Amino acid sequence: MEKTIKEMQQDVDQFVSQFKVGYFSPLAQLARLTEEVGELAREINHQYGEKQKKSIEKEKAMIAELGDVLFVLTALANSLEIDLTQSFQETMNKLNNRDKNRFERKDEAHD
């Protein structure tokens, strides 16, 4: 079942709300987000970069690492009362206006 960003934010809120500690401070969440992005970077580096895994390291799926990043990012947005749908739309509007001619488009004639 596909979920909207709003539904994902609600799911994260329901999960976090069941614990007394609730949302961590924004700074703690940023540290956690940085940690999760680092784990994703490590997996990408092992798969696409020159750095090979040590023989004792377990294989981790990038899908799981991306899910961890998405969860922590969503928790951070929730704690700051930021609607990620609105945030994403504002970013897309900015990119579609500011960067609309930044890169060569696929449909442009090649010289």
pLDDT tens sequence across 82-109: 999 999 999 999 999 988 778 888 876 5
Structure tokens at 109: 């004639």
Q: What is the pLDDT of residues 42-52, one digit of tens each?
A: 889 888 888 77
* pLDDT, mean over the chain: 90
Q: Can you tell me the distance from the alpha carbon of 97 to that of 8, in angstroms, rounded to the nearest whole number?
A: 28
Check: pTM over 0.85? Answer yes or no. Answer: no
Q: Look at domain 5-95 and name its CATH class.
A: mainly alpha
Q: CB within 8 A of 10, min separation 6: which ones? A: none
